[in-house]
Each structure stands twice: as structure tokens, then as C-alpha cells.
Amino acid sequence: DGGITQSPKYLFRKEGQNVTLSCEQNLNHDAMYWYRQDPGQGLRLIYYSQIVNDFQKGDIAEGYSVSREKKESFPLTVTSAQKNPTAFYLCASSPLRGLEAFFGQGTRLTVV
């Protein structure tokens, strides 16, 4: 079955450490996105990519980095520069920008 998979579902990180969240899709979608969701709030765009080897900053890119070496994969690294990384992270993909997105199940990151 086609879909978008995020792993792990829960992640704990010590302060000062970098951590990478995985996002894989087998929907053959060109566009992929990373969002951050905080309690009681909507989604905020971190980074997005419309094509392999290219990506754009979203509204809250500081402290994060991404890569898009393959169409299927769009990993997100939360660096130690991110001041408040504890949040729920959602990855999504869509055939083209502007069409409905398919979301993964999310990764809950907690800094301890």
C-alpha cells in the first residue's frame, strides 16, 4: 500500500544533541514538507521541497536542516541550535504544490 511513513513515533533527545527524524513516501510525490505542531496550535512550516536536491525554508527554519537526495526521502535534522525543540513533528507529501497533502503519523520529540 502507498503511503508516507515517519519514524520513530517517539524520540527523546538530550540537550545539545542533534537528532534526525525520518520521512519516507512511496506515493511518487514530488513535493514534501515538514511541519511542527505545538499544543493547541496549528501547523507551522519548517521546510519544504518541490524537487530532488532542492528545498526551501518555511516560516520557522532556524535550528533545523533537511536534505532531499532521493524523491522518496526527506529527513529532518533538529540541531542543538533549536532553542525549543520539544514538539510534534509532521511530514507530508503532495503530487504538486497546491494539491492536497498526505500526512505521516508524526514524531513526538522530547528534549530531556
Footprint on this chain of other proteins (rule: CB under 8 A) = 6, 33, 35, 40-45, 48, 56, 58-59, 88, 90, 92, 97-106, 108
DSSP string for 31-45: EEEEEEE-TT--EEE
Q: Which is nearer to other proteins, 16 or 98 (CB)?
A: 98
| Residue closer to other proteins, measured from CB, 10 or 15 | 10
Q: Name the burial class of residue 33, with classes exposed (0-12), middle (13-18) and buried (19+) by CB atoms within 10 angstroms of its CB.
A: buried
Tell me whether residue 22 or residue 80 sits nearer to other proteins (CB atom). 22
* Smallest separation, CB 43 to other proteins (Å): 4
What Å distances lie between residue 52 and 9, 10, 22, 28, CA to CA?
25, 27, 16, 12
Q: Minimum CB separation from other proteins for residue 5, in Å?
A: 10
